[in-house]
Amino acid sequence: MSKAITDDPYESLGNAIILQAVNDYRAALRRIKHNPKNRMAIDEALLIEKFFRGQLYAVITNIDGEFLIDKLRKEVA
Contacts of 22 by beta carbon, 8 Å cutoff, 6+ apart: 68, 72
Position 70 in a domain: yes
pLDDT in tens, 8-44: 899 999 999 999 999 999 999 999 999 999 999 999 9
Tally of structural domains, the chain: 1
Position 67 in a domain: yes
pLDDT band, residue 5 (cuts 50/70/90): low
Position 57 in a domain: yes
pTM over 0.95? The answer is no
Position 69 in a domain: yes
Position 4 in a domain: no
pLDDT for res 2: 47
Position 2 in a domain: no
Domain coverage including residue 51: 9-76
Residues 48, 28: contact at Cβ < 8 Å? yes
Position 3 in a domain: no
